[in-house]
Amino acid sequence: MNSGPSSASPGGMRRHRVLVVEDDPMMAEVIASYLNHAGMLVAVASDGVMALDGFAAFNPDLVILDRMLPRLDGTHVCRKLREQSSVPIILVTALGEQDDRIHGLELGADDYVTKPFSPRELVLRAQALLRRSAPAQQQPPEPPSHLQRIEDLTFDPTTRQVTKAGKPLRFTGRERDLLEFFFANPGTTFRKDELMQRVWQWQVGDSSMVSVYVRRLREKIETDPANPTVLITVWGVGYRFGPTQP
């Protein structure tokens, strides 16, 4: 695994650390060059086994992961990483079919790009995920009355922490975006296209991606994900979080 020499920027600020997992040396070099130019510290792994070892050693803030890898493919790497961390993952794939994209999201990826892609676009996606995953700014604690509760879920808007029956839950960036939006709008039903636009500012895209994130949220917040009582499907319309508002 190759990485840059320093984790600090010239101004003394900590640079975001990005692990690029790509077996094509030329492609890896191009991606790393663009990320370095954007101020990020980059490490490169050329196969799936190196990716898992590199993740433990490099402790990245974001992973850009090619799906087709030697020794251990990207889907297995994605699953292993998600078992131990909520670090943002961008899956890079040469497969453009909808089922392949959805499968990547179901494994826990936060975003995907399909080859061929623009390195500049990849950098923008990486920056967006890093912003969303950044810890909330330290602020004076809000009074307990500001905590939001739905059944046994509690959301603290100051720390962005969600607990279920008092136990903290862990989410990826896009999962947290969606859940925080629902907490801010309890009892209101939203169509999939509305959620795409209002939560992630996606004007175009595959609305089935929303279903994937809803499914992933239910696995974490529902006592019985197969029979949800918090995040409800309103058939023919969309999704509602909590009881209908009077």
User: For 137-180, how does the pLDDT look when each residue is reduced to its tens digit (9 = 90+)?
Assistant: 444 444 555 888 999 999 998 888 899 999 999 888 888 889 99
Residue 207's pLDDT band (cuts 50, 70, 90)? confident
pLDDT tens sequence across 56-77: 999 999 999 998 899 999 989 9
Residue 197 has pLDDT above 50, yes or no: yes
φ, ψ (nearest 5 deg) of residue 145: -65, -15
- pLDDT for 137 equals 44
Can you give the pLDDT at residue 107?
82
Higher pLDDT, 117 or 14: 117
Instruction: Specify the pLDDT at position 229.
Output: 93
Domains of the chain: 2-133 (3.40.50.2300), 144-241 (1.10.10.10)
pTM over 0.85: no
Mean pLDDT of 82-92: 91
Phi, psi of 217 (to 5 degrees): -65, -45
pLDDT at residue 15 tops 90 = no
Contacts of 162 (CB under 8 A, 6+ apart): 153, 154, 155, 156, 168, 169, 171, 176, 179, 221
Tokens (6 digits) for 108: 């826990």
Write out pLDDT tens, residues 214-243.
999 999 999 999 999 999 999 989 999 987
Residue 116, preceding peptide bond in cis (omega within 30° of 0):
yes
What pLDDT sits at residue 95? 67
Question: What is the pLDDT at residue 139?
Answer: 45
Q: What is the 3-state secondary structure (H, E, C) of the chain?
A: CEECCCCECCCCCECCEEEEECCCHHHHHHHHHHHHHCCCEEEEECCHHHHHHHHHHHCCCEEEEECCCCCCCHHHHHHHHHHHCCCCEEEEECCCCHHHHHHHHHHCCCEEEECCCCHHHHHHHHHHHHHHHCCCCCCCCCCHHHCEEECCEEEECCCCEEEECCEECCCCHHHHHHHHHHHHCCCCEECHHHHHHHHHCCCCCCCHHHHHHHHHHHHHHCCCCCCCCCEEEECCCEEEECCCCC
